[in-house]
Amino acid sequence: MPFWRCFYHAIWSTYKREPFINVAMEKVIFEAIIAKSRAMGGTVHAVNGVADHIHVAVSFPPSVAGAEWLRNVKGLSAHNVNDMFPNQDSHFGWQKGYGLLTFGMRNLADVVAYIENQKSHHALNTLQTYLEQTNDD
């Protein structure tokens, strides 16, 4: 079995950056991300977000492309939200774009802490700009 340590910080937004994610949806989204990551051989170190975007610290094997992982977790999480909340005013979805950053094991605790404190960072405007970037299109 090969040895690997690949750490990623992924960020993506709701469709049109609509503040759509509530506490109940958040639980469904986070569970889907964790389950799909495990199914793809990965580990979620932290997942959190605010009403219009999600952050994930994750490791997955080098045999999985970042875009493939993102497509899978975004797809499953949107599907599960729409299944669990069928009477929404509109269909839940994600923007096509995303941000995907690599980082080393030394930075894992800092990235996890940043993600775990997302709501506070947004409320207090203590954001780290480079950790918030996406290519929303």
Instruction: Report the predicted TM-score, pTM, of the whole model to 2 decimal places.
Output: 0.94
Dihedrals phi, psi of 86, to nearest 5 degrees: -70, -20
> Domain 7-131 carries which CATH code?
3.30.70.1290
pLDDT in tens, 41-74: 999 999 999 999 999 999 999 999 999 999 999 9
Residue 121's pLDDT band, with cuts at 50, 70 and 90, is confident
Q: Give the residue from 11, 56, 12 showing the smallest Cα distance to 37.
A: 56
**Tokens at 29, concatenated:** 């989204």
